[in-house]
Structure 1
Amino acid sequence: MNTSGAAPWRGYWPAAPTPFTAGGSLDEDAWRALLALYAEHGVHGVLVNGTTGEWFSQTPEERRRVAEIAVAELSGQIPVVIGCGAYTAAESARYGEHARAIGADGILTTPPPYVHPSQDEIHAFYATLAGAVDLPLMVYNWPRGTAVDITVDTLVRLAELDTVVAVKDSSGDELKVADTCAALAGKVQVFGRFIHRRGMAVMAEFGGAGNIDGGGLGAPFAVPFYEAYWAGDLDRAREWSARYERLVNLLVNDDYSSRFASPTSQLKAAMRLLGQPGGHVRPPLLPLEDPSALLGLSEALDEAGLHSCSTSTGKR
Structure 2
Amino acid sequence: MSKFQITDIKGVIPATMAFFDEKENIDEACTRDMTEFMIGAGVNGFYLTGSTGECFTMTPEERNRVVDIVIDQVKGRVPVIVHVGDIGTRKSIGLAEHAEAAGADAISSVPPFYWKFSKEDIYHYYKDIAASTSLPMIVYNIQLAGIMDKDLILKIAEIDHVKGLKYTARSHDEMGSLKEILGKDFMIYSGCDEMAFSGLCFGADGLIGSFYNVIPEIYEKIYQCVQNSDIPGGIRLQRIADEFIFACLQYDFPSCVHNLMRWRGLEGGYSRRPFYNYKDEELAGLKINLRQIREKYQAEDLEIFHF
Secondary structure (helix, strand or coil) at the match of 1:282 reads: coil
Choose from 270, 277, 284 the match for 2:267: 277
| Native 8 Å contact 1:270 1:298 kept in 2 | no
2:208 is aligned with 1:209 = no
**By how many angstroms is 1:296 displaced?**
2.4
| Partner in structure 1 of residue 287 of structure 2 | 298
DSSP 3-state at the match of 1:140:
strand
For residue 126 of structure 2, what is the amino acid of its counterpart?
A: Y
Partner Cα distance (2:51, 2:201) in 1: 28
Change (3 A) 1:122 1:104: same
Q: Kindly report which structure 2 residues correspond to 1:187-226, keeping only aligned pairs within 5 A, or say none.
A: 187-192=185-190, 193=192, 194-196=195-197, 198-202=198-202, 207-216=203-212, 217-226=214-223
1:133 maps to 133
Change in Cα spacing, 1:233 to 1:75, as seen in structure 2 (3 Å) is farther
Taking structure 2 as the reference length, what is the TM-score of the superposition? 0.86
Q: 1:301 corresponds to which letter in structure 2?
A: L
Which residue is equivalent to 1:111? 111
What's the secondary structure of 1:108's corresponding residue? strand
Q: Secondary structure at the match of 2:254?
A: helix
**Aligned equivalents of 1:123, 1:212: Cα separation in 2:** 23
TM-score (norm 1): 0.84
Deviation at 1:307, TM superposition (A): 4.4
Deviation of residue 108 (structure 1)?
Answer: 1.2
Q: Quote the Cα distance in structure 1 between the aligned partners of 2:289 and 2:172.
A: 25
Residue 240 of structure 1 pairs with residue 237 of structure 2: yes
Partner of 1:309: 304
Tell me how far apart the structure 1 counterparts of residues 222 and 84 of structure 2 sit (CA, whole Å).
Answer: 29
The residue type paired with residue 246 of structure 1 is E
Measure, in 2, the Cα distance between the counterparts of 1:82 and 1:156.
22
Identity %: 25
Of 32-41 and 108-117, deviating more is: 108-117
Please say if residues 48 and 80 of structure 1, whose CA atoms lie closer than 8 Å, have aligned partners that are also in contact. Answer: yes
Task: Determine the structure 2 residue equivalent to 1:151.
Answer: 149
Q: Distance in 1 between matches of 2:64 and 2:200?
A: 37
Unaligned runs of 5+ in 1: 252-257, 312-316
Deviates more, 1:282-291 or 1:42-51: 282-291
In structure 2, the partner of 1:260 is 251
Distance in 2 of aligned mates of 1:201 and 1:57: 35
Rate the CA distance shift 1:73–1:159 in 2: closer, same or farther, 3 A: same
- Aligned equivalent of 2:74: 74
Deviation at 1:259, TM superposition (A): 1.7
* CA deviation profile, 1:168-224 (whole Å, cap 9, x unmatched): 11133334333333333335111114533x44542xxxx211221114223121112
1:172 to 154, 170, 174: 170
CA gap 1:200/1:208 in 2 versus in 1, 3 angstroms? closer
